[in-house]
Amino acid sequence: MTTTGAPASPDNLFDAITRCDLGALDDLLAAGADADEIDLHGHQSTPLAWACAHGDEGAVRALLAAGARPDTAASAPPLVEAATHGFVDLVVLLLEAGADVDDADDSGATALWIAAASGFADIARKLVEAGADRTLADLDGVTPADAARAAEHAQLAAWLDDPASVPARSPVWREGRDAARATAEARRLQVIDAAMGTPAAAAEPEWTFSGGIAKSAWVTQDFPSVAASGNVALVTRMLDAGLAPDWTMADGGASALMLAARSGERETVDVLLARGADANHRNAQGLTALHMALFKPSARLHGPVVASLLAAGADPDAVDGEGQRPLQRAFVHGMVEIATALIDAGADPFRADRAGRTPADWIPIEGRKAAAFRTLLEAARAVR
């Protein structure tokens, strides 16, 4: 019998980790809870990545002991989450457990990239010593050294370019270790406050802006990444500070609108469009926000994003560098409603690409959605 006033038992692994309830976590794992569950909606994480984001070493060890794979990810792998929040001990633990040192999040950012952008030199060094590729760029072509330079971590950038150029006794290692510890401590306090039900402090950390970089005592983020996270308040503040809505980290990079579209952040997409973001901006691969919205789409999250983009004048038949169009992606992923919206906006399901294939060639030939797609194509053919 539950004692009156006592908190209910956590329903799942994510709840147990959020509440810092290691006993409940152990009970759930013993009862057969999936240590590799992939939650694409509520948490956009896995239990191991969630534990790493919370800095809970006990939970990380329990999940690994229960068979959790260190590279399973929904959005950001566990190693990236640990590096993001400065948890160097978890970085080491995951590497010892066999984590892929070059695994990346949805934006192509590896743990080394994140550590470089945050100035966490000690974490960066441990990752490189474990075999991390110093030249591995994100999807926008930005390398870890580029990210460190953009965030004004000049010595760390120099070391990433040439490790021999920075001596072992350089202050960069101590400063980077201190920065990671401060970030980790702030994150731990935040997690504990949330678990205890302590109200968050009313005052937000003070943000400053340099170019397209938002900085605080806790984190450093570029504008497109802020948009991808769905932080509408910060996106608005950055725009109010004079940042151009189509600012990118590098020439040919993905815009904030593109990354928000990929994340399914409808509110952020609408704010950016209202502030003049180009619905047809392309990155170096020729991708537009519509292409990005259909990278790994869900009807619930990305359907409204597609609707906003189309209403803002996004080209429904835009061809990327591989000759693919948004409609092809909608067909491949079985998104009937989104495909219908694209066709209604003018996308041609029978227009061939460079290989001679049309979007219609990509519809599923069997399964519960096949009939709906055939009906959609028949209607489109009838009005040609």
Rounded distance between C-alpha atoms, residue 146 and residue 138, angstroms: 10
Q: Does 200 reside within a domain?
A: no
Q: With 50 as the cut, is the pLDDT of residue 3 above it?
A: no
Residue 203: the pLDDT is 47
| One domain, residues 70 and 212 | no
pLDDT exceeds 80 at position 200: no
Q: Which pLDDT score, from 0 to 100, does residue 369 have? A: 78
- Residue 191 forms part of a structural domain: no
Q: What is the mean pLDDT of residues 52-78?
A: 93
Average model confidence (pLDDT) across the chain: 88
In a domain, 195, yes or no: no
pLDDT tier at 202, thresholds 50, 70, 90: very low
pLDDT tens-digit readout, 206-260: 667 777 888 765 567 789 988 988 889 889 989 998 899 999 988 788 999 999 9
Which of 4-13, 52-61, 133-142, 337-346 has the weakest average pLDDT?
4-13
Which distant-in-sequence residues (6+ apart) come within 8 Å of 314 by Cβ? 279, 280, 288, 289, 290
Paired tokens of 223: 């504008």
- In a domain? residue 170: yes
Domains: count for the chain: 2
Domain range enclosing 273:
206-382
Whether 130 and 211 map to the same domain: the answer is no
How many contiguous H segments (helices) and E segments (strands) does the chain have? 20, 3
Q: Does residue 167 sit in the same domain as residue 33?
A: yes
Please give the Cα distance from 363 to 113 (Å, whole number): 37
Q: Are residues 152 and 79 both part of a single domain?
A: yes
Give domain status of residue 285, yes or no: yes
Q: Using 50, 70 and 90 to split pLDDT, how confident is the model at 305?
A: very high
Buried b (16+ CB within 10 A) or exposed e, 326-344: bbbbbbebbbbebbbbbbe
Closest by alpha carbon to 88, among 3, 185, 21, 230? Answer: 185
User: d(Cα 144, Cα 128) in Å, to the nearest integer?
Assistant: 11
CATH of the domain at 291: 1.25.40.20
The reported pLDDT for the residue numbered 9 is 58
Tell me what pLDDT residue 204 has: 52
Say yes or no: 231 and 169 in one domain: no
Q: For residue 199, is pLDDT > 80?
A: no
Q: Are residues 230 and 358 in the same domain?
A: yes
- Is 3 within a domain? no
Interstrand relation of 208-210 and 213-215 (parallel, antiparallel or unpaired): antiparallel
- Assess if residue 185 is contained within a domain: no
Q: Are residues 42 and 159 in the same domain?
A: yes
**224 and 165 part of one domain:** no
Q: Are 237 and 374 in a shared domain?
A: yes
Of the listed ranges 71-85, 99-113, 311-325, 344-358, the least confidently predicted one is: 344-358
Is 5 a member of any domain? no
**One domain, residues 173 and 230:** no
Range with the poorest average pLDDT among 16-30, 84-98, 99-113, 350-364 = 350-364
DSSP track, 250-293: STTPPPHHHHHHHHT-HHHHHHHHHTT--TT---TT---HHHHH
228 and 279 in a common domain? yes
Which whole number is the average pLDDT over 45-73?
94
Same domain as 226, residue 158: no
pTM: 0.58
Task: Flag whether pLDDT at 337 surpasses 90.
Answer: yes
Percent with pLDDT over 90 in the chain: 55
pLDDT at 295 over 70: yes
